[in-house]
Structure 1
């Protein structure tokens, strides 16, 4: 069980390192937080360019309150809009706008490049090499 805890600690260290690099690059180059980028990606990839707020929360790993605040920021920036669910008037969708899709498409190469670079750099760390190898072989 100690080995599991040590392996998990390495995964968390890798996660923190990569997330930090992604966060800095997305904010500096595109004015987006990492969760905002992930939300735009999920919305852009969804069949109707939108998701119910609960679906979006689950897709990006945030709680409902955090997603509501993030979506409000995206709306203020005109990257998303809210829409009422036709089937259930209580349901609210977040829908990506044309500007939101453009911002996502502009940010995607940065995300992919920084992710690859951060993983390659981490692979050179003996403590993290096995975790990187596991991710890249999945």
Structure 2
């Protein structure tokens, strides 16, 4: 089946192409991060999101906000945080103003790994988009992704 299959509606064609593009990009980045840094795409995404926290008002994310940011369920996010904490890449602590809240910070080792992995992630994304742009069914979406990152 292709995105131009006449059995698909226009909406379904668009969704099929978007899903295909996402899957190809994620798989390409996954292979690169695993090979170079022993990180999954989800682990990289979690470290990236958490590394952007700050000590100012609203600067730390609660677990449900982290889950939304990495597009995982809260329970899957908690398991992922636990795995990265076990590897020494994250630490958790109680929110100083609400003892029910738990915050998560990236450790120095996590920040170092993230900095080492960022060029790999970016290069793999570039390669995956370049490859997708060669496919006529994916070219418009690859171009759209490119335009989202372009300066305004």
TM-score by length of 1: 0.95
Superposed CA offset, 1:104-134 (max 9, x none)? 0000000000001100011001111111111
Structure with bigger helix share is 1
Q: Which consecutive residues of structure 1, in runs of 5 or more, have no partner in the other structure?
A: none
Distance 1:94 1:55 in 2: 12
Q: Is the 8 A contact 1:50 1:96 kept in 2?
A: no
Q: Which residue does 2:66 correspond to in 1?
A: 56
Structure exhibiting the larger radius of gyration computed from Cα positions: 2
Select the residue among 97, 100, 109 that pairs with 1:99.
Answer: 109
Distance 1:56 1:26 in 2: 21
1:47 aligns with 2:54: yes
1:50 deviation in Å?
Answer: 5.0
- Spell out structure 1 runs of 4+ moving beyond 4 A: none
TM-score by length of 2: 0.87
Distance 1:40 1:50 in 2: 13
1:11 aligns with 2:18: yes
Q: How many residues align?
A: 138
Q: Which consecutive residues of structure 2, in runs of 5 or more, have no partner in the other structure?
A: 1-7
Superposed CA offset, 1:73-113 (max 9, x none)? 10010000111011111111111000000000000000000
RMSD (CA atoms): 1.4
